[in-house]
Structures are given as C-alpha cells and as structure tokens.
Structure 1
C-alpha cells in the first residue's frame, strides 16, 4: 500500500482539475495532474506512476505545494533559457545562399562542417559547431550532398553495356 498525503486547501479539487486541463507546459501539466489525483485521495505512489513521475519527486511536489501554494507548480526552468539568436543576419543568410550555389573553396560538395566553417569566417567566431551548419542547410532547404559511392573494381564499359542490354523498367 502507498501513502496518502493531504493537500493544504489552496485550491479545491475542481480548481486543481481546471488547472490541469488548461496547462500547456508539459512540466506544469504533470504537476497539476499529480495534485488533482492526490486531491481525489489517490496514493502518492499510484498517482506518481500514473503521471510518470518518480515517487520521491512526487512527494517533493506535494510538500512544496503545501508550503508555497500555487506558485510552486510553475516550471522554473522555463524562465532561465537563453534566448535563441540567429548566427546570421538576413544579409549574411542571403550571402550564404549565394555561396551554396557554387562549389566550396576547397572543392567537393557542401557539408554541414563546411557551412559551419563558412559561418565562422563570416561572423568572426572562433568556432561554429557542425550542427549549426546543418541547421542552416535545412533552413535554406538544402540537403547534405555526398558523392555516390563507386566500387574500386567497377568497370564503366561493362556497366554501360549492361544498361544497353537491360529491359526498360
């Protein structure tokens, strides 16, 4: 058997259910759901398993709610995220788009690493991760280009003869 924790009457069971149903942040949604189930006299262990939380973490949520009230349910990580900022402004992005029309300076094909290096040179950064190069390739609706592999013992004449004698598909 589990343990039933009592909730301080900050909100009624119906109000907890309304907060649960209105929550948009997944962290807050789970917390409201947990509190609503506990207000329905569920065991903490069962309520935690139902909403997918660890038992000790669920108990901590209940204790914090009893101590601090409804403000304790908010997702505190959400406010501490760094704002996302684009590496390239609009002019630099157009410049990259034009650069992608031609082969890269070292020859070959554009890769995420080569795009990241191009961005680093243009923005004056010491390093840009390859993932950011891939992000810009995706934004510009480009795919990662790589040459088609060829076998070292491939015979071009035999392949051409095979194509000529093969039935049409």
Structure 2
C-alpha cells in the first residue's frame, strides 16, 4: 500500500499553529492529524498518538489533499435546522408521555416516533424521538430483571415466616 502523502496547502508550522489555536475539539483533532502527517509521521504512528482509526486518518488526509483547509472546519456549528416539533407540539407530547402508551408497556423511542407521526404527521427518526424523551425529562424505564433461580412468591412467603420465628 502506498503511504498517504500530504499536499502542502500549508506549512508544518501553519498546521501546528492552527492545531494549537483551535477552540473546537473536532477541528483541533483534525489539525493535529494533519500537522503530525506534515512532520513525516506514518498513519500507524498518527493512529498511536491520536487513537483515531486508520480509515479516519486516511479519509481526512485524502479530503485535505483534494479540498484544502476547508475540510477541517466542523460544519455542525452551522446546522441550525428547525426542531421537528414546535413548542406547542412538545407540550402535547409531554402530556401524552404522562400516561402509559396505548399499546401498553413503557414509552420507547419507537412508540414516541409512532405517536408523533400519528398525532402531528411529522416524520422523525427513533434517535430524534429519543432526544425528545430526554429533552422532556424522561429517563430509561426498564423493569428490573429477575434472576432465573429467583424464588416464587409462595417460596418467599415461607422464607419470611421462618425469619419471623423466635
């Protein structure tokens, strides 16, 4: 396999300065990878220093070579998409979550997803639905597991009676 080389869009000193001055963690990690590569480190050496995977490092180097420093910028900061549910819809959802779901059991992200689709005709992923559960203050609700050799209620009653004897 041919080792990935770094196109000199910037000098090693400029890459180091960008790495040291970066305020966003994602960008700082990307600058560090590029800086280390500019110093002549191999991908396995960069992987050992940064703990990023070989494919992540190779992909970043390839993108940097093709598109320059713009690929380092964390574009998530400009992702200001509107929320799936407005404030009123969130209030309705919160009220619905106060009661058990119609299908029984506990509210899950899939049940919230189905409820939102049925109630508001809004498509959302189960991850987004989980986000609304968390945002509205709900936590994971899972019944406590029972041990496979747990005593039956009758056996427990016998044990309790034995404990109460003087």
Q: Does TM-score exceed 0.5, indicating one fold?
A: yes
Q: Which residue of 2 aligns with 1:129?
A: 125
Query: How far 1:136 moved relative to its partner?
Result: 1.9
Equivalences for 1:1-169 in 2 at 5 Å? Answer: 13-23=12-22, 24=24, 25=27, 26-35=29-38, 37=39, 42=40, 46-52=41-47, 64=65, 72-75=68-71, 78-79=74-75, 83-125=80-122, 127-148=123-144, 155-163=152-160, 165-166=162-163
Q: Quick check: 2:37–2:46 contact (8 Å CA) kept in 1?
A: yes
Q: Please tell me whether the aligned partners of residues 20 and 32 of structure 1 are also in contact (alpha carbons under 8 angstroms).
A: yes
The answer for unaligned runs of 5 or more in structure 2 is 48-53
Considering only aligned residues, what root-mean-square deviation do their CA atoms show, in Å? Answer: 4.1
- TM-superposed deviation, 1:59: 7.5
Taking the aligned partners of 1:164 and 1:82, their CA distance within structure 2 comes to 64
Count of residue correspondences: 148
The answer to whether the 8 A contact 1:116-1:133 is kept is: yes
SS at match of 1:75: helix
Cα displacement string for residues 107-129 of structure 1 (whole angstroms, at most 9, x for unaligned residues): 3322222111111123313x543
Per the TM alignment, residue 76 of structure 1 is displaced from its structure 2 partner at its CA by: 6.6
How far apart in 2 are the matches of 1:78 and 1:48?
Answer: 22
Taking the aligned partners of 2:113 and 2:87, their CA distance within structure 1 comes to 17
TM-score with structure 2 length normalisation?
0.61
SS of 1:74's equivalent in the other structure is: helix
Alpha-carbon distance between aligned partners in 2 of 1:85 and 1:121, rounded to the nearest angstrom: 20
Query: Which position in structure 2 is the counterpart of 1:68?
Result: none
